[in-house]
Amino acid sequence: MKIVIIPLVGQNTSGCGYSYLFDSEWCLDLHGFLSRDEFAARINEINKHIREFPLLSERVQTYFTYAFFGLLVITTAIFLPSLALTPLGIAHISINVAYFVGKKVIGNIARSRAEKFNNAVNGLFAQYNQRENSTANWNLVWRSVITHYTIKMKASLDGKIKGKATPNYAEHAEIVLEINDALSDLTAKTVRVNLASEVVSHSPHQIAVSTSTAYN
C-alpha cells in the first residue's frame, strides 16, 4: 500500500488573523490514481470545504485569552469592592478568576471548532471513499506534536544554576491517503522516451532517451 501524507499548514491573513489549509505537491505515488491537475483540484476542493469551519490557532487563542482576561479583571474589580476587601486582595482575586475562566472559555471554543472541522472533513471523505474504495482511502488523522519548550531556570546562592525544559504539545491534523498497490500495475514495465527539443534527423546520436521501470 502506498501512503501519501498531506499536512494541514497555517498561514497569516490580514491583521492578527490566521487560517489553515491542506497543502502538498503531486508525487509519483499518485500516478495512476490522480493526475497533477486532478490532485490540485482535489486539494482545492477540500480547502474550499474547510473554509467554513476555521480552527482556532494557538496564537489566536492567546489573544482571545488576554482579551477575556482584561475584561474579567475590569468586571471583577468593579463588583468586588462591595465585599470590603483590600485593593491588593481585589487585584489578586480578579487576576486569578480572570485567568482560569478565560482559559477555560477559550479552550472550550477551540475544542468546539476542532470537532466541527473534524466532522466536516470526515463527512467529505466519506463521499470520496464511497466511490473510490478499494482503490484509495482518505483519512483525517490528528497527531500530537511538540510545538515549543517551556524553560525554567533557577540560580542558587552558591552560583549553581538548575534548569528544566518542559515540552508543550498540540494536535496537528493531516490527511493520510492510502492507495492500493494494485495501481502499480499501471506503471509496471513502462518506458518513457523524451526526444530532444532540436532533433533534425533520426540519428540515434541526436535523440535523448530516458527509461524508468516501476516494480511492484
> Does residue 197 register a pLDDT over 90?
no
CA distance 173 to 124: 15
The model's pLDDT over 199-209, given as tens digits with 9 standing for 90+, comes to 333 333 333 43
Instruction: Please give the grid coordinates belonging to residue 145.
Output: 506534536
Q: What is the DSSP letter of 206?
A: G
0.85 exceeded by pTM: no
Confidence of residue 110 (pLDDT cuts 50, 70, 90): confident
Asked if residue 188 has pLDDT above 60, the reply is: no
Mean pLDDT of 138-160: 84
pLDDT of residue 147 exceeding 80: no
90 closest CA partner among 99, 78, 102: 78
β-bridge partners, 144: 171
Q: Determine phi and psi for 11, rounding to 5 degrees.
A: -145, 145
Residue 205 CA to residue 13 CA, distance in Å, equals 54
Mean pLDDT, the chain, integer: 75
The sheet carrying 136-155 orders its strands as: 18-22, 2-12, 161-179, 136-155
Kindly state the cell numbers that stand for 87: 485593593
Could you give the percent of the chain with pLDDT greater than 90?
29
pLDDT 10s digits, 13-65: 655 556 889 999 999 889 889 999 999 999 999 999 999 898 876 666 666 66
Q: Which residue has the higher pLDDT, 155 or 40?
A: 40
Residue 149: is its pLDDT beyond 90?
Answer: no
Is the bond preceding 134 in cis, omega lying within 30 degrees of 0? yes
